[in-house]
Structure 1
Amino acid sequence: MFCSDDPVQLQLPVLETGFPYGELEELLSFLQSDNPTVSPNNSGSEGSNRTLSSPDDRKRRRMMSNRESARRSRWRKKKHLEDTTNELNQLGAENQELKSQLDYVASRFFAVQAENERLRSECASLSARLSDLHWILLAMQNHINPR
């Protein structure tokens, strides 16, 4: 069944792993080279050597997998840091713009408040003057037309 001299062709589904295509090819070629084909001329002792080296192969594959996982983890951490830094810069700029708008609105508020106070004072002054004129007019009418 596995006795042919043809190299073993691994046809695994490629899922979205984050591996660049070249690294996937390199990893597959590495795995293919570590899995020698068993020929009919191989003795039982070579089979037992393969069994003895199998934990080493698993250890090496696990080490490669752990290294790749660590590389992806570092990449995600770097990307998260860049994204957070960009968001910080954007929020800082937005905060500065909002502060500027707040300063403008506050200055307009104080200007309108001062104008409002001036107009209230002028209104009170004009009301008092109107009241005085009203009394003068009444006095003049009473003086001209005494009863």
Structure 2
Amino acid sequence: MSSAQPLTSSGSEGDPHYAVTDERKRKRMISNRESARRSRQRKQQHLDDLLGQVTQLQNQNSEIGQRAEAILQHYNQIESENQVLRARMLELNDRLGSLNTLIAFMEDTGDLSMNSPEISDPLLKPWQFPCPSQPIMASADMGPFF
């Protein structure tokens, strides 16, 4: 089957209008590829930045956790010391109450003045210092006692 049709080229090879269109398509394709490459680079850079932030935040979180653990241990130590001091205070209050009861009993029976020896040590009688002319002064820089 041989036909007499002439062999024609595709539309873009012979017509200058198609050649200009093909050149525009080729330039657009190159531009699109370059744009896609830059977009992938930006995306990769953004991902790298986010991974860096994750690492930094994990490190900060770890440091905060360690500080919190140290503070918790310090708090537990202080709480334990406070419990010991509270128990000691209760014990001393009980002893003071017992001594006050004993003193009241001795005052009621009259034994306090007869059987109690004279205390000669001024430290045992702080209300009777040897130099009563010098008052005890408090200064403003003394902190609270409670």
TM-score range, shorter chain: 0.5 to 0.7
**Matches of residues 112-127 of structure 1 in structure 2 within 5 Å?**
112-127=78-93
Listed as ranges, the gaps of 5+ residues in structure 1 are 1-47
Once residues 16 and 60 of structure 2 are traced to their aligned partners in structure 1, the CA distance between those partners, rounded to angstroms, is 64
Listed as ranges, the gaps of 5+ residues in structure 2 are 1-13, 112-146
Residue 62 of structure 1 is matched in structure 2 by: 28
**AA at the equivalent of 2:109:** H
> Number of paired residues?
99
**AA at the equivalent of 2:19:** S
Once residues 62 and 53 of structure 1 are traced to their aligned partners in structure 2, the CA distance between those partners, rounded to angstroms, is 14
Residue 52 of structure 1 is matched in structure 2 by: 18
Once residues 36 and 93 of structure 2 are traced to their aligned partners in structure 1, the CA distance between those partners, rounded to angstroms, is 82
Q: More relative contact order in 1 or in 2 (CA 8 Å, sep 6+)?
A: 1
Shift of residue 52 of structure 1? Answer: 2.1
Query: TM-score, normalising length from structure 2?
Result: 0.64
In terms of fraction of residues, the more helix-rich structure is: 1
**AA at the equivalent of 2:40:** R
RMSD value over aligned CA atoms? Answer: 1.7
Describe the superposition over 1:8-45 as per-residue Cα deviations: whole angstroms up to 9, x where unpaired: xxxxxxxxxxxxxxxxxxxxxxxxxxxxxxxxxxxxxx
Query: TM-score, normalising length from structure 1?
Result: 0.64
